[in-house]
Amino acid sequence: MSIEEKRIREFAYQIWESEGKPEGQESRHWDMARKLAEAESLAPKATPRKAKTKSPTLAQPAQPASKPVTVKKPRTTKKPPVA
């Protein structure tokens, strides 16, 4: 059995299962499986994509360093101790 025949058999079985395992639909399942296998063989092979990285020259220009931001705490008034 060739690899293509095995693939068609797998597709037919998956179709049969997905439809709830009906009886009397074998020829339709095999036809659908043949079409799927044919489409799969004609489809371009997928190649893994490389992660996109931004090069520093294409990225936005670097911003000049700014002064660090200082956060001022709110003033609190000290109350004199109660005697």
What is the CB-side half-sphere exposure of residue 2 using CA atoms within 13 A?
Answer: 4
Question: Using CA atoms, how far apart are residues 15 and 9, in angstroms rounded to an integer?
Answer: 10
DSSP helix/strand/coil, 80: coil
Determine the average pLDDT of the residues in 21-26.
94
Q: Where are the alpha helices (DSSP H) in the chain?
A: 3-18, 26-42
In this predicted structure, the answer to whether residue 28 has a pLDDT above a threshold of 80 is yes
The CA distances from residue 51 to 19, 48, 54, 60, in Å, are: 39, 9, 10, 19
What global pTM score does this model have?
0.52
